[in-house]
Amino acid sequence: VGCKAILVFFQYGVMANFYWLLVEGLYLHILLVLIFSPNRHFTIYLLIGWGIPTIFIITWTVTRIILEDTGCWDTNEHGGPWWVIRIPILISIIVNFILFISIIRILLQKLRSPDVGGNDQSQYK
């Protein structure tokens, strides 16, 4: 049981890491898009960063108990339980990449604005 609990917390840490990277991307994107936003959305960020991984790790643990409760859960005879963790991580990576492209696009638009002088523009690039 201890080995399984350690593996569950390890998988939770990995998934939370990816979702906190997504939260950072969302936060930066919102800072660039909404300059004077009175609401900072910190509760939503907390729910994304800690809540989504919790939901999927609980789902993974239940599917692991039902489908493949052998050993320390470090081997995989069935691929199904691992996709419960991998699909949300892949989704967070894809969304974060889209946010990255959008952030780069916004920054380039701001650099090309007529308010930025020629010397400053090359300095920022």
pLDDT in tens, 68-100: 877 777 777 777 788 889 999 999 999 999 999
pLDDT at 43: 87
Structure tokens of 41?
Answer: 């959305």
Rounded to the nearest 10°, the torsion over CA 98, 101, 107, 109 is: -100
Structure tokens of 64?
Answer: 């692991």
Q: How far is CA 41 from CA 30, 37, 64, 110, in A?
A: 10, 10, 34, 24
Structure tokens of 105?
Answer: 């696009």
**Is pTM, for the whole model, over 0.85?**
no
Q: Exposed, middle or buried: residue 11 (CB in 10 Å: 0-12, 13-18, 19+)?
A: buried
